[in-house]
Amino acid sequence: MALLQPPVVVAPASDDVVMRLDEDLRAVVRREGIDPQRDVPVVRRLATTLVREHDERSLTGVVAPVADPDGLVAELVARVAGFGPLQPFLDDPTVEEVWINSPDRVFVARHGRHELTNLVLSEAQVAELVERMLKSTGRRIDLSRPFVDAMLPAGHRLHVVLQGVARGFSAVNIRKFVVRASRLEELVELGTLTAPAARFLDASVRAGLNILVTGGTHVGKTTLLNCLAASIPGGERVISAEEVFEVRFPHPDWVALQTRQAGLEGTGEIRLRDLVKESLRMRPSRLIVGEVRAEECLDLLLALNAGLPGMCTLHANSAREALTKVCTLPLLAGENISARFVVPTVAASVDLVVQLALDPRGARRVTEIVAVPGRMEGDVIETEPVFEWRDGALRRGIGLPPRLERFERLGVDVVGLLAEAG
């Protein structure tokens, strides 16, 4: 962890000029009926006008001059339309995530490494920021529901844990939606995977193989899922189900579904399991689940086992552990679900497991691509390494993917393709 310069306290807005212009800008926004977080360019135009008028009045000596008009405009926009002191981090393209452990402990992550910033907030500022963020999402947080997952207007993912559950202060995480790759070829350019592995994965998606994307936290699972989804043929209908909208890829026939919190009366909740079930009634050609964490894994497995191609992400330390987890999560669906049913279903339904990890420098890498041929030895699902990490690189393994007939129907010689990779 890199420690920046010693912390300095950032005053809420002690400068008289900033405070007065802030009040003027808010008054204009209210009078014009503008939604500041959805109409940022309009707010920026109004702020620019106010600062210019103030600058012109300063020539007469009536008001104090402004040393940096552009900086003042940016600050006003951040106060009214953005998220105040956090906005510079959200605007910084090198920042991947921002989190607040306490008002005087604000961290950011850059290139897979985290840093303590010199920003010091007040408890009131943190509370006001959380309230403003949630206002734009339609989700809520209170003592009865002290956690919240939400998507901010810019696509960033917000997670908040209230004080009381988090010791001392509310904990806030903002994971930014930073688009560094939208296709497998771009991941090759970033060094996340090799060109032969990218060609193989592209062919596997087009052939309709069922793929698990696995790894630890913040290793790029959603980014890889988006890149894989971009290889889905345009003539297929795609349904995605997520807790919050994170899956993004270009496709002409795609419906995205998102879970919903219960209302104040405790009703109206829509779980991820409900979305997976509902998606099957929408004539899907492909099913994408953003992240599998609990009993929805059973419904996904049943869909895949019925012949519906699909993909999802999963937290796991290796491809082998991912398969073990997929065999365990469906047991959460009820006592009538047994491992004797689940394990053969997993072996028959999952085709590939793609494992990601962070290297010591914080770079994201695909470390293994494992095929699941559908065979079992006792209660253990057999696997074959198609690509594996050897000698510091992703290299061809000895395995072949299952369902070779699907590649043949597509006109792809996958055996030859993998032979070239070797």
Q: What band does 79 get if pLDDT is binned at 50, 70 and 90?
A: confident
How do residues 354-396 score in pLDDT, each as one tens digit? 999 988 887 899 999 999 999 998 889 999 999 999 988 999 9
How do residues 198-244 score in pLDDT, each as one tens digit? 999 999 999 999 999 999 988 999 999 999 999 999 999 999 999 98
Per the CB < 8 A criterion, the answer to whether 129 and 123 are in contact is no
Mean pLDDT (the chain) is 87
Per the CB < 8 A criterion, the answer to whether 215 and 357 are in contact is yes
Confidence (pLDDT) at 264: 67
Confidence (pLDDT) at 12: 34
- Walk across the sheet containing 211-215 and list its strands: 254-258, 238-242, 286-289, 310-315, 211-215, 352-358, 364-371, 384-390, 393-396
Residue 222 to residue 215: CA distance in whole angstroms:
10
Per the CB < 8 A criterion, the answer to whether 275 and 241 are in contact is yes
Mean pLDDT lowest for which of 141-145, 264-268, 397-401? 264-268
Nearby residues of 296 by Cβ (< 8 Å), 6 or more positions away: 271, 272, 273, 276, 289
Residue 326 to residue 328: CA distance in whole angstroms:
5
Q: What is the arithmetic mean of pLDDT over 316-342?
A: 92
Q: Is the model's pLDDT at 158 over the cut of 70?
A: yes
How do residues 89-127 score in pLDDT, each as one tens digit? 888 888 989 999 999 999 999 877 889 999 998 888 888
Q: What is the arithmetic mean of pLDDT over 269-293?
A: 93
Residue 156 to residue 72: CA distance in whole angstroms:
25
Residue 129 to residue 229: CA distance in whole angstroms:
34
Write the CA distances from 390 to 128, 224, 371, 394, integer angstroms. 50, 21, 17, 6
Q: What band does 150 get if pLDDT is binned at 50, 70 and 90?
A: confident
Query: Does 157 or 65 have the greater pLDDT score?
Result: 157
